[in-house]
Amino acid sequence: MAKKAITSRSKSQPTARAAMPVKQTPKAARPKSTKAKPINSGPTKFKPIKFKPWTHAEVAEVFSRFRKANPEPKGELEHLNPYTLLVAVALSAQATDVGVNKATRHLFPVADTPERMVALGEEKVRDYIKTIGLYRTKARNVIALSEQLIALHGSQVPRDREALEALPGVGRKTANVVLNIAFGESTIAVDTHLFRVGNRTGLAPGKTPLAVELGLLKIVPPEFARHAHHWLILHGRYTCVARKPRCEVCIINDLCRWPEKTV
C-alpha cells in the first residue's frame, strides 16, 4: 500500500480545580476504567468569533480551489497497511509526523501486524519509539490495541467507528483518520491545524474539535467530502499556520472571514 499520512495533537490543561481541596473517593471504591484514555483527542482551546455565514457557492469555491491546487492530497504519516496506519496515528498525538516517521521506519519493518507487534513486546516497542512524546503510554497502548485486534477482530482493523474507538488509546480523531485513509470514508479528522482553519476562516467555528468536525460535515459538498480533511489540514500546516498565517499566498484569502488576515 502507498505511504500516506495525517497528524494529531492534544493539550492537557491545568484547571482552577487543581488548587481547590477536593473530597477524595477511596481508591478501592473508584470504578476501574476498562479503556485507556485517548491521548490524541484533539485541541480544545480556541475562541470562536462571529462570522458572516458562508454561502454554498463560496464553500464549493474554496474546495474547488483546493482540488485544483492538489487533486490527490495525501497525508504525511508513513504506513504499510491499515494496521500500521492505525499505529502511526496513535503515535502521532503530541508529536510531528516527521518525528513519528523517523521511529516507525525502523519499527514497522519488524512489526507490521498485530501478532508481530505483540511478539516484539512493550519494552522493545518503547525502544523504537522513545524519541516520540508520551512514548511509554503509547507503547503500552500499541501492545494493548494489538492484543485486542487479535482477540476480537481476527487481527484486522475494523471498519467500524465504535469498534475502533473501543481500542486502547484510540479516540474519535484516530478513528476518523483510519476510516478515511484506509477505508475511503468521508470522515473529517480534526487535528490542531484543521481546528485552527475551521475557526479562523469561519468555515466551521466551534469550541471543540467535535463541533468543528460536525460543522464541516454539514457544509462540505459531497464531491469534496473524501479529501476535505486532507486539504484543510495541509492548508493549516503550510499556509494558515498558527503564528503568522501566510495570507499573501493563500488561495482562499478573498473568501476567508478572519478579521486579522493580512491581505
Q: Does 87 bind ligand SF4 (CB under 6 A)?
A: no
44's grid cell: 480544545
**Choice among 4, 97, 138, 191 that is catalytic:** 191
Give the interface segment with ligand SF4, choosing from 115-123, 205-213, 222-230, 250-258 (CB under 6 A). Answer: 250-258
User: Is-catalytic flag, 68?
Assistant: no
Rounded to the nearest whole angstrom, what is the least distance from the CB of residue 262 to ligand SF4 in the complex? 7
Q: Does 250 bind ligand SF4 (CB under 6 A)?
A: yes
121 in the Ramachandran plot: left (φ > 0), alpha (ψ -120 to 50) or beta?
left
> Is the CB of 4 or the CB of 193 nearer to ligand SF4?
193
Q: CA–CA separation, 71 vs 14, rounded Å?
A: 42
DSSP for the chain, written as a single string: ---------------GGGGS--PPPPGGGSPPPSSPPPS------------PPPPHHHHHHHHHHHHHH-SS---S---SSHHHHHHHHHHTTTS-HHHHHHHHHHHTTT--SHHHHHHH-HHHHHHHTTTSTTHHHHHHHHHHHHHHHHHHHTTSPPS-HHHHHTSTT--HHHHHHHHHHTT--------HHHHHHHHHHSSS--SSHHHHHHHHHHHS-HHHHTTHHHHHHHHHHHTS-SSS--GGG-TTTTT---TT---
Q: Does 234 bind ligand SF4 (CB under 6 A)?
A: no
Q: Which of residues 14-43 bind ligand SF4 (CB under 6 A)?
A: none
Work out which of 201, 212, 229, 232 binds ligand SF4, going by CB under 6 A.
201
Q: Does 228 bind ligand SF4 (CB under 6 A)?
A: no
Give the interface segment with ligand SF4, choosing from 77-85, 100-108, 178-186, 241-249 (CB under 6 A). Answer: 241-249
Q: Does 246 bind ligand SF4 (CB under 6 A)?
A: yes
Q: Does 240 bind ligand SF4 (CB under 6 A)?
A: yes
Give the interface segment with ligand SF4, choosing from 27-35, 92-100, 184-192, 255-263 (CB under 6 A). Answer: 255-263
Judged by CB under 6 A, the number of residues near ligand SF4 is 13
> Is the CB of 45 or the CB of 136 nearer to ligand SF4?
45
Judge contact between 159 and 183, C-beta under 8 A.
yes
User: Is-catalytic flag, 254?
Assistant: no
Work out which of 172, 200, 230, 237 binds ligand SF4, going by CB under 6 A.
200
> Is the CB of 91 or the CB of 252 nearer to ligand SF4?
252
Q: Does 258 bind ligand SF4 (CB under 6 A)?
A: yes
Residues that bind ligand SF4 (CB under 6 A): 200-201, 239-240, 245-247, 250, 252-253, 256, 258, 261
Catalytic residues: 173, 191
